[in-house]
Chain A
Amino acid sequence: MPTPASISEDLSSALATLLAIGRPVSALIVAGIVAVVLAACVPALRARLRAAVGALLAALAIGEAVLVWFHLRLGQACLTVEPQSGRVTGSFAVPLWIESEKLYVLALLLAVIAVGVRRHGDELRPLLAGAAAALAAAALLVGKPFTAPLPDFLAQYRGYLAAWASGDAAAAAQAFAGIEGARRFYYNAWYMWVHPPLLFVSYAAFAASFAATVLMVVKKRSSYEQTAYRWARLGYLPLTAGMVIGMPWAIIAWRGEAWWWSGKVNMSLMMWVLYTAYLHGRLYLRRPGMWKVVAALSIVAFVALVLTYLTTYLVPGVHSVA
């Protein structure tokens, strides 16, 4: 029968292994970032940019494989056990895109697009590769997925283990209720495996659309507008589906709370409205001067996307960590 001590030991072992493997993987990612920066900034190396961002993508993919392994180990190690009866109620299927791993996933998706982009690839790649490198650097420095993984999850789980080990039955029961609720309605909820990844895919596609819009504004060529539109419509599908899929989860998990006025939900709505307006505005692109309106909408919508991401950390509400 699992005990707090045996679980703690197993968890510590998984964390030590992650740290040991994470160090060389982090070094590999840093090397990929440096390669991208050099290829983007040194004209003589510009022809190697695709190879450089490919190397960054490979390093990020290796890191993601390590994180998948770590999450599988968490699933084995972190059990929820009812303290009074000793009954195991389940284990954790912690999603790969929460807490310290958000920026990492975004960097990975942008690197995929930077490698795979074809239409206007030579012009878009420096912008997308630069963004992927910046996000990868931020993921390592701020997110720290290999050195300080999942801080909120581990803090809550360790708190539960401590309460269970303390011998205080009331505290143990309360901690169990908290962790079991989090397991069922957050970490293991199927929405968490659908809602966030759909939104992250849309964010990455919108970043490519934004890059093409910037090129259109700078170079004043309408062909970039079509590229921007193609990426925007690709992003709009998972954005819409992801937002709608998130609603039943919100209704169930936040029953009785005015979650619809949470800053994050508000900004998401704003962003969706702006991208809807952008896609509708394109219908009248042939009208004189309309490209300026469409370009402005595309840029404002992307600014709203960035603010939506930041709102989680800045504005209070049920959907935020402010």
Chain B
Amino acid sequence: MERQRTAWDFALMMATVVLLGALGVQSLVGTLYAWWAYRSVPGWETTGYPGFVTAMNAVAAPLAVALVLVMGLCVPKRLFERRVLVWVSVVGVAAGVGAGVLARSVQAGLTVYLGLAALLQGAVVVLTVAGAGGLAYMSEGRIAKAGSGLLHLGFILFALTVVAWQDSPVMLPAFVASALLLAGGSAMSFYARGSREAPSGTST
């Protein structure tokens, strides 16, 4: 059971790294292209930039959607054992796809999916802070675990704000809250005693 959970953790982490890496590579290639075009094509800022933006959006959109999906899949792994986990994940994805199809909007689907993920992650944070047993974490110690929970809640809130609340009055407080959760959660994960410090040695 523990091995399966570890394998799921590793697969999700690798998927996250690959997707972030792909977005990073796209950013680098896009920046290099813009730099070249700016210097080589006269008036590119007005004639070529709109097409560049369209192409970049088209490449990034599926990566961003996949990243949101992976983020949502990361959440229930803390709460449920494998069989229930699969069903919760399937239900979450199905709810998002269903909402997207009904509203004919990818944004609506992602909003529902992220909303469910936020509710689950909120429960994870409450249970972690309360010291409830049965939650699966890679890190040890309640502070480090709470930090990890808050960090992930910050990511979900950030994604929810980008996807759903950009034109809402809650946009600003939501961004500030996600920044506080991300920074506070990271600090708790980094500085909790015994967490993630590699042992000191004399040579590599």
Interface window among B27-35, B69-77, B126-134: B27-35
B87 within 8 A of A: no
Interface window among A87-95, A145-153, A179-187, A264-272: A264-272
B204 touches A237 (CB 8 A): no
Beyond A222-B201, A223-B202, A270-B27, is A317–B34 a contact (Cβ under 8 Å)?
A: yes
B52 within 8 A of A: yes
**Which of B57, B166, B171, B179 touches A241 (beta carbons < 8 Å)?**
B179
B203 within 8 A of A: yes
A216 within 8 A of B: yes
A-chain residues with CB within 8 Å of residue B197 when the two chains form the complex: 226, 229
Beyond A225-B198, A240-B182, A261-B52, is A270–B38 a contact (Cβ under 8 Å)?
A: no
Q: Give the CA-CA distance A226 to B56 in the complex, in Å.
A: 38
A296 within 8 A of B: no
Q: Which residue of A lies closest to B35 (CB)?
A: A315
A225 touches B31 (CB 8 A): no
Could you tell me the distance in whole angstroms from the C-beta of B22 to the nearest C-beta in chain A? 10
B34 touches A291 (CB 8 A): no
A-chain residues with CB within 8 Å of residue B23 when the two chains form the complex: 269, 273
A233 within 8 A of B: yes
By CB atoms of chain A within 10 A, which of B23, B198, B201 has the most? Answer: B198
A273 touches B20 (CB 8 A): yes
A223 touches B200 (CB 8 A): yes
Q: Give the CA-CA distance A267 to B201 in the complex, in Å.
A: 34
B28 touches A270 (CB 8 A): yes
Beyond A222-B202, A222-B204, A263-B34, is A241–B21 a contact (Cβ under 8 Å)?
A: no
Could you tell me the distance in whole angstroms from the C-beta of A250 to the nearest C-beta in chain B? 10
A177 within 8 A of B: no
A-chain residues with CB within 8 Å of residue B17 when the two chains form the complex: 277, 280
A-chain residues with CB within 8 Å of residue B182 when the two chains form the complex: 240-241, 244
Q: Give the CA-CA distance A268 to B202 in the complex, in Å.
A: 34
Beyond A233-B190, A316-B34, is A266–B28 a contact (Cβ under 8 Å)?
A: yes
B56 touches A285 (CB 8 A): no
B111 within 8 A of A: no
A213-244 interface bits toward B, Cβ cutoff 8 Å, 1 = contact, 0 = none:
00010001111011001000100111011001
Beyond A241-B179, A263-B34, is A251–B198 a contact (Cβ under 8 Å)?
A: no
B-chain residues with CB within 8 Å of residue A30 when the two chains form the complex: none
By CB atoms of chain B within 10 A, which of A251, A266, A267, A269 has the most? Answer: A266
B140 within 8 A of A: no
A-chain residues with CB within 8 Å of residue B176 when the two chains form the complex: 245, 248
**Which of B38, B172, B183, B203 touches A221 (beta carbons < 8 Å)?**
B203
Q: Which 5 A-B pairs have the closest CB atoms?
A: A266-B27, A244-B179, A273-B24, A258-B53, A241-B183
Partner-A contacts on B (CB < 8 A): 13, 17, 20-21, 23-24, 27-28, 30-31, 34-35, 38, 45, 49, 52-53, 56-57, 158, 162, 166, 171-172, 175-176, 178-180, 182-183, 186-187, 190-191, 196-204
